Structure 1
Amino acid sequence: MTTTTDPWPLPRVVVAAPASGHGKTTIATGLLAALRRRGLTVSPHKVGPDYIDPGYHALAAGRPGRNLDPFLVGVERIAGLLRHGASVPTLADIAVVEGVMGLHDGAVGRRDYASTAHVARLIEAPVLLVLDTTAQGRSAAALTLGMAAFDPAVRIGGVILNRVGSPRHETLLRDALAEVGVPVLGAVTRAAEVAAPARHLGLVPVAERAPESLAIVTALAELVEATVDLAAVLDLARTAAPLTTPAWDPVTAVGGPAGAERPVVALAGGPAFTFSYAETAELLTAAGADVLTVDPLRDPALPAGTRAVVIGGGFPEAYAQALAGNTTLRAELADFDGPIVAECAGLLYLGRSLDDVPMCGRLDLTARMTGRLTLGYREAVAVTDSPVARAGEPVRGHEFHRTTTDPGHGDRPAWRWNDAEHGFVSGRVHASYLHTHWAGHPEAARRLVEACR
């Protein structure tokens, strides 16, 4: 049996597309569920900072969906994080990695950095290209050939045709792909598509629609079983080179437990706060905390003995009235004297109100929905010392919201980026719109646990 440092011939495949909207999530989620139904242990991964797709992946695979984002965590950690995810809680038989945007689309102004192609190179995995063939014939072959030739270091090992119009259309497409030597591993007709409900920031998270989401994943598994050559996909995944990078280890990342005492850290969860990377809880645990989940929609109080609180992102605007109705927890958070770290939705929840609906009132700000989407990677510098950062330290993060706060930042801002100050540090509270991945700066987990003491 392989260890976390031995070379590991982990079968793996990257599901990519020429652009967003071609059906990557449909195919990736269906593949995960279909392979699991065959008795395989499948490890699900997502390129980029997305929180929602990994929820569907986790439901399909039966283990946490994890992100591979070079911008947020650093190029040097990607292969190790893949290996870690494919090893926990048990060794996987195959890893399926869903890409982001178009295959070669990277961070703005950085060529293909943090793109699907970049990650495919870092993990040395073949690519399975999903093509929306609506209104396309032989041009689909030209598109595939161009995608492959654009970066010869990225190996496109097969194509899945999506939204095929008819048997004749499928034959035309297969013949064209044969001309350029790229095998077709599946064909999905337009009528067979399965759709998940969406909202302004993407798909509706699994936690918000658990029964419906399970039905969607089951339907996707059946769709892939009926339209994709799973044996051929497995054969393609087995062509990946052995992983030689050691697995990322949260204990090593934080330097081990920060002390003998194990303080309780409450991590917000439930339908309103679904945005959290799996590594956050792992790092806090490795630093010596006992991590317990609190659902602000339903739990009347923090877990007994809570010494710190982490509130990630999500959709509080969809649950504002229900969050407001949990008056006992709001009052406890307003008076809580331990460190609190809040990102995006957590920031809104700690304010006085969201669209005039009362929130916790811990921070002197009001928030409202807008029609403007704020989206993108950020290179930030900490402005103020806090439980998770020291002034002057750089960190990379991601913004993704349609809300705004008044004021836009506090007298003691959390971050500075793009020549402007952002966020709030108030007492032991650190809150901002910036989503961060703590695998990229694990000192945040260690500091938070130390601050509990």
Structure 2
Amino acid sequence: MVTRATPAVVIAAPASGSGKTTVTTGLVGALTAAGHTVAPFKVGPDYIDPGYHAVAAGRPGRNLDPNLVGENRIGPLFASGCTGADIAVVEGVMGLFDGRITDDPGTLGVGSTAHVAALIGAPVILVVDAGGHSQSLAALLHGFVSYDPAVRVSGVVLNRVGSDRHELVLRQACDRVGLPVFGVVRRDTALSVPSRHLGLVPAAERSADAVAAVAAITERVRAGLDVDAVVRLARSAAPAAAAPWSAADETADHRVEGRPVIAVAQGSAFTFGYAEHPELLAAAGAEVVAFDPLHDRLPAETAGVVIGGGFPEEHAADLAANEGLRRDLAEHVASGRPVHAECAGLLYLTSALDGHLMVDAVDARGAFGPRLTLGYRDAVAVADSVLYRTGERVTGHEFHRSTVEFGGDRAAAWAWRGAEGNAVDGVVARGVHASYLHVHPAGAPHAVGRFVKAAQEVR
């Protein structure tokens, strides 16, 4: 079945730090306030921005990343995420044409905002940080408009404008290249979200503060943007789209009976995860139950545990204080029941993190450090586990400032060749698969089915 795509706009920028997240969040909030049902998306592997989108839209924010799921799934995932919505807003990543660097100098960045905009056929609005710009903005915009004919740059939002005179000069520059101005947001230091070592503080950690911040951003952006004009632009390009992605279809060959309980860590310490993950778990036959490691015990009859990414280093003392859950998880691991842990989950399973006692299910110690590890990895599984068989390949993403020191011999989870040579990551032990590598479950749905099957078998 081929359907018409939901009208959409892509919010991009010439470079990082231009204000994409502020403008996107405010636009989503303004559209929602105007009565639209908005489907929000983020290009790339980012977990944090979709949390703010979700607050503004009242529905999950989702990711579109060809590197992690493949080009062929972008259209279906977009269509699936748009179910029930009348408009979609897609926030880009970095600069418009910035993506994964390949060995082919003639290839544009894979997984860039431009790449995704072309795949879904949506027009692009550029958010320009106006600070320091004057008439020369016309030359910058001319370059972005003409660089790739497959990308439809359709207008501009001028952000952090200093004065009426500044706005006039910038509008003249936009007129010179024939780009309409969809909005002007004046410089305002109050329009910011607290950040730390890996970017913005996740919305789930700020709870009421995040709601208030999104409301303030929405009000300011709504006052500065021509929201009706954005809607008209979105409706001007609605190409044919593939049938929506289906978690049930992806797991049809792996579904189990018996509804094994899969406990998924959530709460302030574990905020990183993709919306499709619990959907795939449920479609594979699991009963998905959320728990907060800061306060809860392991849910009754838990057969498998998923502990995703987040900021355990910010909550290490409270995680250590929940001794009951740490015992529950240690017993769960000792029994051979499956655990899927990524990044923060790996740290939580170690014996200690920055001197605070953790679960002690993995012979390792974690520590926060000064060095950022960031990038896509083409990885191969180097041990059979509850998720993968030896030799299976994935593309994943690393994003952390911590390190883990393993004790003694271990069976690593992954290996890959990087800029600094060959590397191994994580550990496979009993039913545990734990590593720094984030893998989008929609890119490896068979692994989700394998995990649920393992949980069913050890119930």
Q: TM-score, normalised by structure 1?
A: 0.96
- Name the structure 1 match of 2:433: 430
Residue 220 of structure 1 and its aligned partner are, at CA, apart by 1.1
Give the partner amino acid of 1:269: Q
CA distance in 2, matches of 1:397, 1:359: 26
- 3-state secondary structure, aligned to 2:59: coil
Residue 255 of structure 1 and its aligned partner are, at CA, apart by 1.5
- Name the structure 2 match of 1:8: 4
- Name the structure 2 match of 1:380: 379
- 3-state secondary structure, aligned to 2:240: coil
- Name the structure 2 match of 1:134: 131
- Name the structure 1 match of 2:313: 317
CA pair 408-81 structure 1, distance change in 2 beyond 3 A: farther
Give the partner amino acid of 2:284: A
- Name the structure 2 match of 1:21: 17
Query: Which consecutive aligned stretches of 4+ in structure 1 deviate over 3 angstroms post-superposition?
Result: none
- Name the structure 2 match of 1:167: 164
Aligned length: 445
Residue 135 of structure 1 and its aligned partner are, at CA, apart by 1.1
- Name the structure 2 match of 1:39: 35
- The within-5 A match list for 1:392-411 is 392-407=391-406, 411=410
- 3-state secondary structure, aligned to 1:191: coil
- Name the structure 2 match of 1:441: 444
Residue 148 of structure 1 and its aligned partner are, at CA, apart by 1.4
CA pair 77-409 structure 1, distance change in 2 beyond 3 A: farther
Residue 409 of structure 1 and its aligned partner are, at CA, apart by 9.2
Aligned with residue 307 of structure 1, among 292, 303, 318: 303
Contact 2:8–2:238, Cα closer than 8 Å, also in 1 = no
Contact 1:409–1:423, Cα closer than 8 Å, also in 2 = no
Cα deviations by residue, 1:352-375 (Å, 9 ceiling, x for unpaired): 000111000000100101100000
User: Does structure 1 residue 345 correspond to structure 2 residue 348?
Assistant: no
User: Does structure 1 residue 270 correspond to structure 2 residue 267?
Assistant: yes
Alignment gaps of 5+ in structure 2 = none
User: Does structure 1 residue 99 correspond to structure 2 residue 114?
Assistant: no
- The within-5 A match list for 1:16-415 is 16-87=12-83, 91-109=84-102, 111-191=108-188, 194-255=191-252, 258-299=255-296, 301-336=297-332, 337=335, 338-407=337-406, 411-415=410-414
Indicate the RMSD between aligned Cα atoms, in angstroms.
1.2
Between 1:190-199 and 1:121-130, the stretch displaced more is 190-199
CA distance in 1, matches of 2:249, 2:362: 35
Contact 1:264–1:290, Cα closer than 8 Å, also in 2 = yes
CA pair 409-38 structure 1, distance change in 2 beyond 3 A: farther
CA distance in 1, matches of 2:408, 2:221: 47
CA distance in 2, matches of 1:409, 1:124: 52
Give the % identical residues. Answer: 55
Residue 9 of structure 1 and its aligned partner are, at CA, apart by 4.1
Between 1:39-48 and 1:237-246, the stretch displaced more is 237-246
Q: TM-score, normalised by structure 2?
A: 0.95
Contact 2:254–2:453, Cα closer than 8 Å, also in 1 = no
Give the partner amino acid of 1:364: D
CA distance in 2, matches of 1:23, 1:349: 33
Contact 2:354–2:366, Cα closer than 8 Å, also in 1 = yes
- 3-state secondary structure, aligned to 2:168: helix
CA distance in 2, matches of 1:271, 1:19: 30
- 3-state secondary structure, aligned to 1:439: helix
Give the partner amino acid of 1:353: A
Contact 2:45–2:63, Cα closer than 8 Å, also in 1 = yes
User: Does structure 1 residue 451 correspond to structure 2 residue 454?
Assistant: yes
Contact 1:43–1:95, Cα closer than 8 Å, also in 2 = yes
Give the partner amino acid of 1:434: L
- 3-state secondary structure, aligned to 2:233: helix
CA distance in 1, matches of 2:266, 2:91: 24
Residue 224 of structure 1 and its aligned partner are, at CA, apart by 1.4
Contact 2:12–2:127, Cα closer than 8 Å, also in 1 = yes
Cα deviations by residue, 1:334-364 (Å, 9 ceiling, x for unpaired): 1102100100000000000001110000001
Residue 410 of structure 1 and its aligned partner are, at CA, apart by 5.4
Alignment gaps of 5+ in structure 1 = none
Residue 22 of structure 1 and its aligned partner are, at CA, apart by 0.3
- 3-state secondary structure, aligned to 1:271: coil
Cα deviations by residue, 1:401-452 (Å, 9 ceiling, x for unpaired): 0011112895211000122221100111000000010100101110011101
Residue 52 of structure 1 and its aligned partner are, at CA, apart by 0.2
Give the partner amino acid of 2:88: A
Contact 1:41–1:93, Cα closer than 8 Å, also in 2 = yes
- 3-state secondary structure, aligned to 1:255: coil
Residue 108 of structure 1 and its aligned partner are, at CA, apart by 2.5
CA distance in 2, matches of 1:351, 1:145: 52
Residue 6 of structure 1 and its aligned partner are, at CA, apart by 3.7
CA distance in 2, matches of 1:193, 1:323: 32
- 3-state secondary structure, aligned to 2:451: helix
